[in-house]
């Protein structure tokens, strides 16, 4: 099939493009190339690239022509940036999703909205299911929840053939280093301090990006229109446990850990039940015990990918965010 992947130059979108190319699809990527979007993530892949924003109806019309389905990854994705500057989150998640839904409605094609466990908020015990209430706690998760509700409204009102797939915390190759795992790996490889929020005991449910990409693929091919599917990883860990494992894998010790002021409104624990997407035949391939060492190796071996980021705007962002210098 000919498929439009919005936000396909990002971390998970580019993993998904690889899955669909391997299945024989023709892929068009529409991406605004924000600081987090990179052509390098699609290097050596045969795709058609349209540089533009999902909130731009002309760019969307150019990209969607001839496509039989649309998968939307395009988003602002960093909670800390949403706390400092929420405007781009509202524009992309609200206006952008609206423009895409209108284009999908007039083209009459299938649609998958990529979403996050963060729309459910924090959970002390047990796991969220697809029928758990939405209780987002940051501008990031609130605008993602708004986009999900807009999709649901289009399904109900116009009979759009759309599904939503909500993932837990992703890790793996090509993740922008502002996120926990690549941040800690690159700092540890450089012998720089590792900033840990609060007491480090926040719990996250880790899924490898290849597994989340395969779950979205399953929903695209087999999901029932109007349904939501959660895709959580097989492991839950406290942030401090993740950091300690990275220190071990990089030959560093705990003297590099620096506790820093906690994120405002920091959710304590996320956890997703994935029974519904498993019933469609999906299951994760990666355990964290194998996925984390493979991810550390990828960053160690791919300095060409991260060096331009670490020496650019990111350095300024990092130093302002944590009050720490990068070496």
Ligand X SMILES: NC(=O)c1ccc[n+]([C@@H]2O[C@H](COP(=O)([O-])OP(=O)(O)OC[C@H]3O[C@@H](n4cnc5c(N)ncnc54)[C@H](O)[C@@H]3O)[C@@H](O)[C@H]2O)c1
Any idea which residues carry the catalytic annotation? 117-118, 140
The residue (of 7 and 223) whose beta carbon lies closer to ligand X is 7
CA-nearest of 53, 153, 149, 151 to 111 is 151
- Which residues, at least 6 apart from 278, have a Cβ–Cβ distance to it below 8 Å? none
User: Could you tell me where the DSSP H helices lie in 191-287?
Assistant: 209-222, 239-249, 275-278
**Cα–Cα distance for residue pair 121/270, rounded to 1 Å:** 7
**Cα–Cα distance for residue pair 86/41, rounded to 1 Å:** 26
- Asked if residue 250 binds ligand X (CB under 6 A), the reply is no
Q: Contacts with ligand X in 252-311 (CB under 6 A)?
A: none
- Asked if residue 75 binds ligand X (CB under 6 A), the reply is yes
The residue (of 246 and 256) whose beta carbon lies closer to ligand X is 246
Stretch that binds ligand X, among 68-76, 234-242, 249-257, 289-297 (CB under 6 A): 68-76
With CB under 6 A as the contact rule, the residue among 116, 143, 218, 271 that binds ligand X is: 116
The residue (of 73 and 120) whose beta carbon lies closer to ligand X is 73
Parallel, antiparallel, or unpaired for β 203-208 and 235-238? antiparallel
298, two tokens: 């990828």
The residue (of 170 and 295) whose beta carbon lies closer to ligand X is 170
**Cα–Cα distance for residue pair 309/35, rounded to 1 Å:** 9
- Asked if residue 146 binds ligand X (CB under 6 A), the reply is no
**Cα–Cα distance for residue pair 94/218, rounded to 1 Å:** 25
**Cα–Cα distance for residue pair 15/130, rounded to 1 Å:** 24
With CB under 6 A as the contact rule, the residue among 50, 70, 96, 107 that binds ligand X is: 96
- Which residues, at least 6 apart from 251, have a Cβ–Cβ distance to it below 8 Å? none
Shortest CB 191 distance to ligand X, Å: 26
- Asked if residue 100 binds ligand X (CB under 6 A), the reply is no
With CB under 6 A as the contact rule, the residue among 3, 4, 10, 214 that binds ligand X is: 10
The residue (of 129 and 258) whose beta carbon lies closer to ligand X is 129
- Asked if residue 16 binds ligand X (CB under 6 A), the reply is no
- Bridge partner residues of 3 (DSSP): 27, 69
- Asked if residue 144 binds ligand X (CB under 6 A), the reply is yes
Shortest CB 36 distance to ligand X, Å: 3
Site string for ligand X, 157-186 (x = CB under 6 A): ----------x-xx-----x----------
Place of tokens 């959710």: 267
Residue 43 CB: number of other CB atoms within 10 A?
10
170, two tokens: 């992703």
With CB under 6 A as the contact rule, the residue among 82, 92, 138, 295 that binds ligand X is: 92
Torsions phi, psi of 33, nearest 5?
Answer: 55, 65
- Asked if residue 202 binds ligand X (CB under 6 A), the reply is no
With CB under 6 A as the contact rule, the residue among 33, 61, 260, 326 that binds ligand X is: 33
Torsion of CA 136, 87, 81, 72, to 10 degrees: 70
- Asked if residue 7 binds ligand X (CB under 6 A), the reply is yes
List contacts with ligand X (CB under 6 A). 6-7, 9-13, 31-34, 36-37, 53-55, 73-77, 92, 96, 114, 116, 144, 167, 169-170, 176
């Amino acid at each position: 099939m000919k498929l439009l992947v919005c936000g396909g130059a990002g971390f998970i979108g580019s993993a998904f493009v690889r899955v669909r190319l391997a299945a024989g699809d023709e892929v068009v990527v529409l991406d605004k190339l924000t600081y987090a979007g990179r052509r390098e993530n699609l290097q050596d892949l045969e795709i058609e690239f349209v540089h533009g924003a999902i909130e731009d109806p002309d760019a969307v019309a150019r990209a969607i022509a001839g496509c039989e389905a649309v998968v939307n990854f395009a988003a602002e994705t960093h909670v800390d940036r949403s706390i400092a500057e929420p405007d781009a989150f509202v524009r992309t998640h609200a206006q952008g999703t609206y423009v895409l839904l209108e284009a999908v409605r007039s083209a009459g094609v299938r649609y998958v909205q990529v979403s996050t466990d963060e729309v459910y908020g924090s959970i002390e015990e047990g796991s969220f299911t697809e029928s758990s209430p939405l209780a987002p706690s940051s501008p990031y998760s609130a605008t993602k929840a708004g986009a999900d509700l807009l999709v649901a409204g289009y399904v109900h009102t116009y009979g759009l053939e759309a599904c939503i797939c909500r993932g837990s915390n992703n890790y793996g190759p090509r993740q922008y280093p502002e996120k926990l795992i690549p941040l800690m790996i690159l700092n540890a490889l450089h012998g720089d301090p590792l900033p840990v929020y609060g007491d480090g005991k926040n719990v996250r449910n880790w899924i490898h990006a290849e597994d989340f990409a395969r779950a979205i693929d399953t929903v695209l091919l087999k999901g029932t229109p109007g349904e939501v599917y959660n895709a959580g990883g097989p492991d839950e860990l406290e942030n401090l446990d993740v950091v300690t494992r990275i220190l071990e894998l990089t030959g560093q010790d705990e003297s590099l850990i620096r506790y820093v002021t906690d994120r405002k409104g920091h959710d304590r624990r996320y956890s997703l039940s994935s029974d519904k997407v498993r019933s469609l035949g999906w299951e994760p391939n990666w355990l964290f015990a194998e996925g984390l060492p493979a991810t550390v190796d990828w960053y160690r071996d791919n300095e060409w990918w991260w060096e331009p980021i670490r020496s650019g705007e990111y350095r300024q962002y990092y130093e302002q965010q944590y009050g720490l210098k990068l070496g």
